[in-house]
Amino acid sequence: MFAEFTAEQQYRHDTWSRDREHALLASIRERKTVVAHRPARAVARPQRVAWARPIGLHVSDDATICAVA
């Protein structure tokens, strides 16, 4: 009887796992089709400065650069 109970539990677990995998794959497939049919949008990006200035970098009036921690 224990072997039958174990086999039934294994069957239920396998069935649950398989159904969950199928549902997950179906949702991924649906999301891909929605994204594929969505019109492409042009994304406006903000203007960037010429270079990133490190934090704490200060430029004095006499054009010497010193890092301040």
* Tens-digit pLDDT profile for residues 11-39: 999 999 999 999 999 999 999 998 878 77
Residue 66's pLDDT band (boundaries 50, 70, 90)? low
| Cβ burial 7-27 (10 Å sphere, 16+ → b, else e) | eeeeeeeeeeeeeeeeeeeee
The answer, yes or no, to whether residue 55 has pLDDT greater than 60, is yes
Find which of 1-10, 25-34, 55-64 is predicted with most confidence, using mean pLDDT.
25-34
Asked if 33 contacts 39 with a C-beta cutoff of 8 angstroms, the reply is no
